[in-house]
Amino acid sequence: MHNQYPTPFPSEGFVRLHQVLQMFPFSRTTLWRKVKAGQFPEPHKLGPRTSAWDVNELRAYKEKITSGELT
């Protein structure tokens, strides 16, 4: 099935916080609370001041939500 809405994610690689917040309807605070609680994938440190999320991990998380594995 073709998705009619463009995805903010590249097909592979890493995305920064603003792109994650486009895909998941959380506030920044809620996102970091979920990361800390182990309820959302953790970002990877790419440098001393740079963190980003792996696109494949985020897609797997989204699939768990849509399949009903997560509430």
How many structural domains comprise the chain?
1
- 25 versus 53: the higher-pLDDT residue is 53
State which residues form the domain around 42.
Answer: 14-65
Buried b (16+ CB within 10 A) or exposed e, 23-43: beeeeeeebeeeeeeeebbeb
Look at residue 71 and tell me if it is in a domain: no
Look at residue 7 and tell me if it is in a domain: no
Look at residue 46 and tell me if it is in a domain: yes
Q: Whole-angstrom Cα distance, residue 14 to residue 57?
A: 10
What band does 34 get if pLDDT is binned at 50, 70 and 90? very high
Look at residue 35 and tell me if it is in a domain: yes
Look at residue 19 and tell me if it is in a domain: yes
* 26-50 average pLDDT score: 96
pTM for the complete prediction? 0.81
Look at residue 58 and tell me if it is in a domain: yes
What band does 49 get if pLDDT is binned at 50, 70 and 90? very high
